[in-house]
Structures are given as C-alpha cells and as structure tokens.
C-alpha cells in the first residue's frame, strides 16, 4: 500500500505537468484559430464555401434562390475588406483568401452569364479574351520578376468587384451585352495598370491606390532626398560629435 502511494505521489506531478502542457497547447491553438478565423477571413471563405450552391440553383432553374445567394455572397466582397480595415484585422492570409475567392467568383460569374445570356458572351468574346489574358499576366509578371505571387488592391481593381456585382444584378433588367462590354473594358484597364506598376515601380504596397499615386509618391520622395534642406540635415548627422 505504501509503495502504491509512493508511486502515485511520483506519478501525479508528471500527470499534472502533462495536463498543463496540454492546456497551454490548446490555448495557443485557440488563439491561432481566433487570428485565422476572423470575421473578415470567414466572409472571404464563405464565398468559396457557398459558391457551389450558386451552380446548383442555376442548373435547377431556381433563379430566385440564385439571385438571393448571389446578392449575399457578392456583399461579402465589400464587407470583408471594410471590416478588416476598420477592426485592424488586415493580414496576409486575409488578402490571399480575398484574392483566391475573387478569382473563383469572377470565373463563375463569366460562366453564369454564359449560361443565362450566351449571346452577350459571344458578342463580347474579344473583350473577355483580352480581360482574362491581362488577368493571367497580372499574376505571371510579378512571379517572373520577383519569384512570388503578388497582387494589388488598386482603386480600379477594388471597384471591379462592385461592377461585377451590380452587372449580374442588373442583367435581369437591362441590356446585358452593353453592361458586359463596359465591365470588361474596366477590368482590362485595371489589370494593365497593375502590370505597369509591377514593371515600373517593383513590389509596392499591396493597398496602392493607383499608378499615378505611386508615381507621385516616388517623385516627392526623390524631390525631398535631393532638396538642399535634406542634404544639410544629412551632413549634420554624418558629422561626428566632438
């Protein structure tokens, strides 16, 4: 009996230590999950998770359900970025999720339009080919230049999501061919601008608003560095103290 008590006394601290380690690991995992599954990231992920349901409703000709779900999922594209900035939850993972979700969503919208309005797609086939070509180049160019996938969230590219969203909704009421032409041209302009930023300015901040904003920022920076005041201050800094 005494031996069993001694063995229990020896074993109990090890069990207690194991439990403490397990609890600490569990807390860390919970903290990681909280950082990963933020509300903005969950909204971006929801576009990927519920996207197959749009196909299902479309193929079953349940257009009302398709319209409602498309409206909800399209709204998440505005909310995720807005909430991430407002709640200071902007992260690389969130930006990557948003980019991937947008890519699948845009491709799906092209299919939905072709399914519902094939003539509009055929009439705009050259615009669409050009749009998808520059879209692919916008991924290829930074990968070739910097050996990594890199995307920007310029003002035009952010507004593209708004244009696609409203184009799909208005297609039930307006001339779809004209809407698709306008949106395709805006897409082409946005992706060409992104490619030019990569080529002329290198890897810039992903939230850069436009080509002209980067150009102005670089010119102001160069002007300040070349200004006599900056040169004088720099000389004071380099002068060793006695």
pLDDT for res 102? 85
CB within 8 Å of 115: residues ≥ 6 apart:
58
Q: How far, in Å, CA of 156 to CA of 180, rounded? A: 16
Q: How far, in Å, CA of 225 to CA of 219, rounded? A: 10
Q: Taking the CA atoms of 85, 215, 200 and 211 in sequence, report the sign of the dihedral they define.
A: positive
- The answer to whether residues 195 and 142 touch, using CB atoms and an 8 Å cutoff, is no
pLDDT for res 24? 52
pLDDT for res 130? 95
pLDDT for res 242? 47
Nearest to 138 by CA among 77, 198, 208, 216: 198
pLDDT for res 78? 81
Q: How far, in Å, CA of 50 to CA of 71, rounded? A: 12
Radius of gyration of the chain (CA): 27
CA 122 to chain centre: 29
Q: How far, in Å, CA of 61 to CA of 202, rounded? A: 47
From residue 23, alpha-carbon distances to 10, 13, 32, 134 in Å are 21, 15, 14, 50
User: What DSSP designation does 230 have?
Assistant: H
pLDDT for res 236? 57
pLDDT for res 14? 58
Mean pLDDT by 10 residues, the chain (242 residues): 51 57 50 65 92 96 94 87 84 84 88 91 92 91 85 86 85 86 93 93 86 88 69 57 49
pLDDT for res 122? 92
CB within 8 Å of 191: residues ≥ 6 apart:
131, 134, 135, 137, 138, 157
CA-based angle 178:182:188, to the nearest 5? Answer: 140
Structure tokens at 115: 């399914």
From residue 142, alpha-carbon distances to 137, 147, 164 in Å are 9, 7, 25
Q: How far, in Å, CA of 231 to CA of 31, rounded? A: 48
């Amino acid at each position: 009996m005494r031996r069993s008590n001694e063995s229990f006394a020896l074993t109990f601290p090890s069990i207690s230590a194991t439990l403490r380690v397990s609890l600490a690991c569990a807390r860390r995992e919970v903290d990681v999950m909280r950082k990963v599954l933020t509300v903005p990231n969950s909204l971006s992920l929801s576009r990927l998770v519920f996207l197959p349901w749009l196909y299902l409703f479309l193929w079953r000709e349940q257009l009302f359900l398709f319209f409602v779900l498309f409206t909800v999922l399209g709204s998440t594209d505005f909310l995720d970025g807005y909430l991430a900035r407002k709640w200071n939850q902007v992260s690389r993972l969130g930006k990557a999720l948003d980019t991937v979700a947008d890519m699948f969503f845009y491709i799906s919208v092209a299919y939905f339009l072709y399914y519902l309005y094939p003539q509009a797609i055929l009439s705009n086939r050259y615009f669409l080919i050009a749009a998808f070509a520059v879209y692919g180049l916008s991924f290829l160019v930074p990968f070739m230049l910097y050996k990594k996938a890199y995307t920007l969230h310029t003002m035009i590219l952010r507004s593209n999501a708004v244009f696609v969203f409203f184009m799909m909704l208005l297609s039930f009421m307006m001339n779809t061919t004209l809407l698709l032409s306008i949106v395709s041209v805006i897409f082409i302009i946005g992706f060409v601008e992104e490619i030019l930023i990569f080529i002329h300015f290198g890897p810039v901040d992903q939230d850069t608003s436009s080509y002209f904003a980067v150009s102005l920022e670089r010119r102001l920076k160069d002007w300040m560095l070349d200004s006599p005041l900056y040169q004088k201050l720099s000389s004071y800094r380099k002068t060793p103290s006695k």
